Amino acid sequence: MRVLLAAGYRMPQDVRIVGIDDVEYASLLPGPLTTVRQPCREIGEAAMEAMLARIERPGMSVRDILIDCRLVVRESSGLAQ
């Protein structure tokens, strides 16, 4: 974002940016960053549960684990109100 701004691009008029993780500084950037907030604790808990289940039952079928994320809209995407 800083490189684009230094090159004269405007956000979100010229370039729209979206990040992931919603780290603390996302709202503090020169143009607050739209981001996907991942539920890190829930991801870690699900990973641990899956690993323990695999240890207990090595032959178990592969499975998908879906955990909801949340979109946090800020100025960098041009969609913030």
Query: Cβ-count burial of 68 within 10 angstroms (0-12 exposed, 13-18 middle, 19+ buried)?
Result: exposed
Give tens-digit pLDDT for 69-81. 999 898 888 876 5
Residue in the structure block whose two tokens are 């039952």? 57
Percent of the chain with pLDDT over 90: 44
Name the residue range of residue 51's domain.
Answer: 2-77
What average pLDDT does the chain have?
Answer: 88
Burial class (CB in 10 A: 0-12, 13-18, 19+), 22: buried
Task: Express each pLDDT in 38-64 by its tens digit.
Answer: 898 999 999 999 999 999 999 999 999
Total number of domains in the chain = 1
